[in-house]
Structure 1
Amino acid sequence: MREHIQEVIGTLEKDYDIKILYACESGSRAWGFPSKDSDYDVRFIYIHKRNWYLSIDQGRDVIEVPSGDSISIPIDPLLDVSGWELTKALRLFRKSNPPLLEWLRSSIVYYQSFSTIDKMRILDEQIFSPTSCLYHYLNMAKGNFREYLQGEEVKIKKYFYVLRPILAAKWIEQYNTIPPIEFHSLVEKIIPAGSLRKEVDTLLKRKIAGEELKLEPRIEVINQYLQKEIEYLEWFVKGLNSEISDPTEMLNQVFRGTLDEVWGRV
């Protein structure tokens, strides 16, 4: 699959007349709990040629395959590919966008070219906003908790839609840094040994074994933990006041430097 993904990356560059700077895995495979039929969620950052940025109508800043676009080679049905244009990515980076920060920390990198991503990784702790990231993870957890875990029976995989954002939010609360992308790293640092940890470890093994679609009685020790942490984090985040200096000019320099590096100086 890696070879096919890299072939798709090369085809995207040709079909859209762009340069891809970075491509990584962003879904359950990057989080460390794929099942045998998990999709490959490939996310990438790309840059157009200089004249695209000098037009009054720049057009779309997202490429999505296969849902929104088509390319000149067949796509594996397990492959979900989407990318952000660089200035869009940098604007989201300025806002400390958690999905983008996770991309930069993915342990599964399919492609990287030029120096842009390394520069962003150097800057990410400077632009990191604990408040906005914690709100993002908390709101994700709350929505998924209401939608998936309130019935008498639940699907196993839905627990991870709530556990992972809760643990990421707890990481920010405890360490005030960008949380790791791998689920096991969050579990090891956040959940101490005991009944809850045993249930989560068992759940993880079953998820990886492919039992994620099974309906069964909800696990009360996990539900109680999630409810308690949601209530606590809602209180905690209200007291956060993390101000960071405006990184816009630094990010402008990253963008301009990338244009020169990729396409050459004018």
Structure 2
Amino acid sequence: MNLPQEKLFQHVESHPYPLLFATISGAHLYGFPSPDSDFDLRGVHMLPLETVVGLDEGDQTVEKEGIYDGLEIDLVTHDVEKFFRLMLKRNGYVLEQIFSPLVVFSTPKHEELKSIAKNCITRHHAHHYLGFAATQWKLFAKESPPRVKPLLYVYRVLLTGIHLMRTGEVEANLITLNVSAKLPYIDELVDRKRSGPEKGMLQAADLEFHKREYERLTTELESAYEANKLPEMPSARDDLNDLLVRLRLQ
């Protein structure tokens, strides 16, 4: 994938606070960007010490949009403490950001965080993906005509959850996930999404088939949750606390 690294880094570099990392999320991470897809960047910033020890809450979340020669870039970051607290919950989204292979900006502490994040993965992350898939399916099912994009999000979320439960590894790329899942219709759906909006619609007759597949994969994820041997609770709290203190004091 050819990434406009200079423009992406230019957007990240203008962030008002020091960053721990910034990675690419969204359709580019999931493996099915369209030619006109904007870039969704996600990351972690570090508020200054005088802010976090004072009475003001500070910018817990920073959202920053920009357009560079027609390329839209959206950057959303959380303060490091807020992000670490999300890691200790069953939030697969933040783990996907940490482990995204599409890195725009990184630091040695980002590499340390990847190591710690492995101990945040629990069997209950299945609930995150089950809930996320149900929400995406509702969005897809109520559209008329139905679009390929939200359907791909449904499959991406379910396959990510199944893979996580079976391997303990975070993988968000639908093309990579389908190497083992072997769903014969995924490549065609991805090609239609990448081809643009004129091919991004589905026939009403396809709905019943995809409804059965959604229900089947949901059951498969539920079964993987019941069978997996991942920890019940994260064991990374002390390591995250230690890293947070060092980041605040550096």
Structure 1 SS opposite 2:37: coil
Structure 2 SS opposite 1:198: coil
C-alpha change, 1:153 and 1:224, in structure 2 (3 Å) is farther
**1:1-266 aligned within 5 A:** 1-12=4-15, 16=16, 18-66=17-65, 75-76=67-68, 78-113=72-107, 115-131=108-124, 133-149=125-141, 153-175=145-167, 177-191=168-182, 197-211=183-197, 213-217=200-204, 218=206, 220-234=208-222, 237=225, 242-244=231-233, 246-261=235-250
Q: How many residues are treated as equivalent by the alignment?
A: 242
Structure 2 SS opposite 1:161: helix
- 1:62 and 1:245 map into 2 onto residues whose CA distance is 24
8 A Cα contact 1:105 1:181, kept in partner: no
TM-score normalised by structure 2 residue count: 0.86
RMSD of aligned alpha carbons: 2.4
8 A Cα contact 2:90 2:128, kept in partner: no
- 1:150 and 1:11 map into 2 onto residues whose CA distance is 39
Structure with bigger gyration radius: 1
Aligned-pair distance for 1:221? 3.7
C-alpha change, 1:61 and 1:150, in structure 2 (3 Å) is closer
- 1:145 and 1:158 map into 2 onto residues whose CA distance is 7
Give % identity: 21
C-alpha change, 1:173 and 1:116, in structure 2 (3 Å) is same
- 2:145 and 2:46 map into 1 onto residues whose CA distance is 46
Aligned-pair distance for 1:222? 3.3
8 A Cα contact 1:171 1:190, kept in partner: no
Structure 1 SS opposite 2:41: strand
Aligned-pair distance for 1:100? 1.2
Aligned-pair distance for 1:96? 4.4
Unaligned runs of 5+ in 2: none
Task: Out of 240-249 and 52-61, give the one that drifted further.
Answer: 240-249
- 1:99 and 1:59 map into 2 onto residues whose CA distance is 23
8 A Cα contact 2:47 2:58, kept in partner: no
